[in-house]
Structure 1
């Protein structure tokens, strides 16, 4: 029988370095490389340790039928694991998307719609694509963080070209995972940690550290409110670092091709 919240030790900071040498409250190194795709409005690869996601943004004229005549734009997101992104090849999802894929792309879309003023688009749709090149856990959180960068860069270009109906107002958002592994609260889990986690929590926050979305589960166990609070505090510290990393990455967006932005906690 899984341990109950009462019998399990209260969440504590890890007492020693993790397998990759990080402290319990350290992020994996984040790297961003801009514009690998020449035809997209914006594109980038975001590296979170060994997890790598290709994020791009395109724009189409028109909006979904239910939104026509409103004068407002729309934003939609798609997420996929590429076949060789995991040790065992992933089958392409063609006729039907898995529940996991649908859940993640809805998370990305909801998070970004909370960030953008859709009125400035007019009746146009922004399409965000997040394709996982290599998966070592944290693909959904890396996708949200990278997708925000793609969106921010796209809006910069649209505004510069006079294609927005007003000034681009974009709330900054980033996402990170936290979890309880062997009774220790850890930030930004890799696969070896995620696969052993008693509690797994994905957190999306704004630049004001307001919550956009929480996805949390007890993996065969329950956890008390105090452990949730401890995990959220840990996530908050990671989000602060990611937000600064995003700002640093945007500052490099106009540099010559091949220049990377690198950020470590």
Structure 2
């Protein structure tokens, strides 16, 4: 029998501690996700996508022309391109607009390229002839995961825009091949967790952003140690968490259509 006045060893105390995320969520629990459609009436399709306190307006607009390089190279079909920006009041301290500095923001460029190539992975642009689909993602409030919210919301905005073109007879075939979603995961306090908010993203030793199709295929995996290393087991766990989260996001997209 254990003596009443005995104390647990430090290791036993550590093992008995309950892991708690800053938000109180379970390790595989996402923040509340909402989609408010038709937020921008002049766009062909638009969504205010919220992952917890992260809010991004995603808008899709169609132009009846293609880029000059496509005409010059006689490339058939259409094109999709994306732009991403964080509004000055989206963060705790004011974020300068890139134009005020007279140069592009490297992070913005990297994210908008990610958004563009992710969406192009699930579109057959041959079925979108002589048109350009512009995707604009503007962050209203940043609390972690702005790129993953942008991709998830941009797909829904694209779906709405394409539906409109099909209904009006401006497209003969549906160019969208599959759903698309994205989510973050990371190692926080030595535990793999899903959908990092800002406190977790700031202190995570490993950060990952995963993009997948509705049928479960990977589009892109961005994963890096923040001055740290991680194991194959941890990577597998991060991917499993991401797959679960993206499956839930796809079901939410379907419920709005």
TM-score, normalised relative to structure 1: 0.87
CA distance in 1, matches of 2:81, 2:113: 8
1:89 to 89, 94, 99: 94
Distance apart, 1:15 and its partner CA? 4.2
Q: Is the CA contact 2:125–2:175 (under 8 Å) kept in the aligned structure 1? A: no
How far apart, CA to CA, are the structure 2 residues paired with 1:16 and 1:152?
39
Indicate the structure whose relative CO is greater, using CA pairs within 8 Å and at least 6 residues apart: 1
Asked if 1:54 is matched to 2:57, the reply is yes
Q: Higher helix fraction: Structure 1 or Structure 2?
A: 2
Query: Which structure has the larger Rg?
Result: 2
Looking at structure 1, the residues matched to 176 and 148 of structure 2 have their Cα atoms a distance apart, in angstroms, of 22
Is the 1:108–1:144 contact (alpha carbons within 8 Å) kept by the matching residues of 2?
Answer: yes
Does residue 22 of the first structure (1) align with residue 43 of the second (2)?
no
| Counterpart selection for 1:64 from 60, 64, 67 | 67
Shift of residue 208, structure 1, vs aligned partner: 1.6
Asked if structure 1 preserves the Cα contact closer than 8 Å seen for 2:82 and 2:116, the reply is yes
Aligned position for 1:147: 154
- Output aligned runs, 1:1-265, within 5 Å: 15-68=18-71, 69-94=74-99, 95-250=102-257
Encode CA deviations 1:46-85: one digit per residue, 9 max, x unaligned.
Answer: 1100000000000112212221233310000000000000
Q: 2-side partners of 1:193 and 1:167: how far apart? A: 39
| 1:154-190 deviations in Å (ceiling 9; x for gaps) | 1100110111132343311100000001100000000
Using the TM superposition, give the Cα deviation of residue 99 of structure 1 relative to its aligned residue in structure 2, in angstroms: 1.2
Structure 1, gaps ≥5 residues long: 1-13, 251-265
Displacement, 1:34?
A: 1.1
**CA distance in structure 1 between the aligned counterparts of 2:59 and 2:249, rounded to whole angstroms:** 19
RMSD between aligned alpha carbons? 1.3
| CA distance in structure 1 between the aligned counterparts of 2:228 and 2:176, rounded to whole angstroms | 42
User: How many pairs align?
Assistant: 237
Cα shift at 1:128: 0.2
Question: Are 1:73 and 1:122, in contact at CA under 8 Å, matched by a contact in 2?
Answer: yes
Does the CA contact (< 8 Å) of 1:119 and 1:165 recur in 2? no
* Contact map agreement 1:152 1:170 (CA 8 A) in 2: no
Give the structure-2-normalised TM-score: 0.89
Whether the aligned pair in 1 keeps the contact of 2:162 and 2:174 (CA below 8 Å) is no
Question: 1:77 & 1:168 partners in 2: Cα distance?
Answer: 17
In 2, Cα distance between equivalents of 1:60 and 1:149: 18
**1:122–1:165 Cα contact (<8 Å) kept:** no
